[in-house]
A = this chain, B = another copy of it.
Amino acid sequence: MPELRRDPIIGRWVIIATERAKRPTDFSFTKKEDASPPSEKCPFCEGNESLTPPEIYALRKKGTKPNKPGWEIRVVPSISPFLKTEGDLDRHGKGMYDLMNGIGAHEVIIATPHHDSKPFIKGLSQIEKLSGVIIRRMQELKKDQRLKYVLIFKNQGKIAGGSKLGHQHLQLIATPVTPKRVKEELVGSKRYFDYKDRCVFCDMLRQELDDQKRIVLDLGGFVAVNPYCSRFPFETWILPKRHSCDFDSMTKKEIKGYSEIFQLTLKKLVKTLGDFPYNIVLHTAPLRRRKKKGYWETIEADYHWHIEIMPRLTQVAGFEWGSGFYINPVPPEDACKYLKEANNVAT
C-alpha cells in the first residue's frame, strides 16, 4: 500500500511508493531508454483493449461491448497506480510524523481511439466529449467520501514527464487530501474575498480585459491569459468569465465554448513554440467543503476554476524547487504578443 506522508514543517503531503519502489539503477541516466512501442502494441489503441486493465468507463457507440472496439473515449485504471481504491485511510502518527494509507484513484483517460502523438487533440467535438467524460468521472468519484480532490493533468513530452506511448491521454488522480498548491489558492482567494468581498480571479479578469496586454483570446465566455505573474515562459491560463468554482458545473453551451478556446490556445502555442513539452493542470474546487457555517458558501463565492498550461521550455527552473522563487525570462506581455500573432493555425 503506498503511503501518504506529511511534512512536519510546512504540512505538505507526499505520496511514497512503498511497493514497486525503484532502485538506483532504474533511473534513466544510468539506463538505456526503451523506444516507444509501435501502434500495433499500443495499449491505448482501438483493438488493443485487452492490453489495459478492464475499463472503468467508456463513451461508446451504441451496441458495442465493454473492453471491445467501438469507443471514442476510454477510462482505465493506471497499470502503475500511485494510489489505490481498496482499504481504509487509517490516519495515524509515528512519533512526530503523520501518515495515512495511499487511498485514492489513479486513472488514465484515453482521449482518442487513434494513435496520435500531436500535442493537441484533433477535432473540436472530441474535446467536448473529453470534457464531458472528465465531468462524469468527477461526479462519480465525488460519491466516495474518503476522497477530497480530483486532479486532472496532462504531461506532454519527455521533459514534462510525458509517457513514451505516443497516444494522447490525460491522467486523473483522486486524493484523500487537497493538494498544497490548490489549498494555497483557496486560502489566498478567501483572504482576498474577506477583505474585498469580491473574487480575486474575477477582479484579475476585469483588469486584464481592460488592459488587453496579456489577453490571448476572449471567446465564447472564456478567456486565455498570460498571467501577470507567470512563473514560466508562455504560461497560459484559461478561465471562465462566469464566476464558478467547479469545473463540473459547466453547462453544455459552456463546454462547447471551453473546448473551442482550449483547442485554439494550444494551437497558438504549437504554432509559436513547435512540438513543445508542457504540463496542463486543472484547478477546481475540492470535492468536500468544510461543514463550518458559511465556509461552503465562501468557497463557492471566492474560488474560480481555471486551467494552467505550463510550457517546460527552460531547464533554468532547477533551484526553484528548493526556494519557491521563480525566474521567468519571457515577460507575459511578450508571450502574449507572440501568441496573438500566431494565426492561421491549422485544424
Contact = CB atoms under 8 A, between A and B. Distances in A.
Interface in A43-100: 82, 95-97
Copies of this chain present in the complex amount to 2
Contacts of A201: 9
A38 interface: no
A204 interface: yes
Contact of A273 (B27, B161, B171): B27
Contact of A153 (B3, B5, B319): B319
A313 interface: yes
Contacts of A273: 24, 27, 30
B229 A331 contact: no
Contacts of A24: 234, 272-273, 338
A93 B319 CA distance: 28
Interface in A294-345: 308, 310, 312-319, 321-332, 334, 338
Contact of A326 (B15, B182, B183): B15
Nearest to A156: B318
Interface residues of A, number: 97
A200 interface: yes
Interface stretch (A107-115, A130-138, A184-192, A252-260): A184-192
Given A21-B334, A29-B276, A322 B161 contact: no
Interface in A140-191: 151, 153, 155, 158-162, 171, 173, 175, 179-185, 187-189
Given A96-B207, A312-B318, A317-B161, A16 B274 contact: no
Majority secondary structure, A binding face: mixed
Interface in A259-284: 272-277, 279-281, 283
Given A9-B201, A321-B279, A326 B96 contact: no
A233 interface: yes
A243 interface: no
A203 interface: yes
A315 B10 contact: no
Contacts of A189: 9
Contacts of A332: 16
- Nearest 7 interchain pairs by C-beta: A161-B318, A281-B322, A180-B324, A181-B324, A179-B323, A155-B318, A179-B325
